[in-house]
Amino acid sequence: MTISVLICVHSQSENNDRLLIQAINSLLMQTYKEFDVFIVFDECWDKTIELVEKQNYKFNITKLIREKKEGLAYAKNFGLKYITSDRVCFLDADDLYMPNKIEKQVNYLKTNDVDFLGTQAWNRYGNNMEFKESIFKLGQYETHEQISERLKVENIMTHGSMMIKKSCLDELGGYNHVKGMEDWDLWNRAIDKGYKFYQIQERLYIYTIGTSVAR
């Protein structure tokens, strides 16, 4: 199984840049090391790429540049065009992975065949490194049946936690430009297509509240 991690960033300040470096550093801490990283710089200010290049990361980062911001769906689809791996993970530029996030998902997929594999999440506020449980309880939405039923009325999946078959994303045509609901739209189209979901009942993703840049 080959894996890529896609990050889309629209950074306009030093604070946005700091969050991006934190996000990339959480990939450095992964216990599972076999993955590539693709970063879409989506109309970032002139310091962001330079800052990333100065870090001298030990893993391979493919830098993809968009000069004009059009929306998050466009940025993600742009990045996906360059990815040929079996599975795609996503990391928002202001969020973090727990160190064993990718390893836990890979281990689950060794004995289970699902198309869309998510995890439960922690919340953090701003740059604060104190994490709090999300509103979703462990065990609440785990199986495909539980997930597909609830997704009809509420987006219960954390997009950044997902590990998705690239072939599924290709067949679905990527993301639709539904501002603020690109992921929820994708989940429902995937379920209608018959793809299988599962959510690992561990909080392996850290979702940051209050720092998102308008897309």
pLDDT along the chain (215 residues), means of 10: 97 93 96 97 93 86 93 96 98 97 98 97 84 90 97 96 98 92 97 98 93 62
* Structural domain count, the chain: 1
The pLDDT value given to residue 215: 52
Q: What pTM was computed for the model?
A: 0.94
How many angstroms separate the CA atoms of 20 and 49, rounded?
11
Position 193 in a domain: yes
Residue 213 DSSP label = P
Position 214 in a domain: no
Position 92 in a domain: yes
The pLDDT value given to residue 130: 81
Position 19 in a domain: yes
Record the tokens describing residue 36, joined without a space.
Answer: 């590539």
CA 178 to centroid of chain Cα atoms: 17
How many angstroms separate the CA atoms of 192 and 209, rounded?
30
Record the tokens describing residue 128, joined without a space.
Answer: 């604060």
Record the tokens describing residue 156, joined without a space.
Answer: 């219960």
Domain boundaries, position 24:
3-209
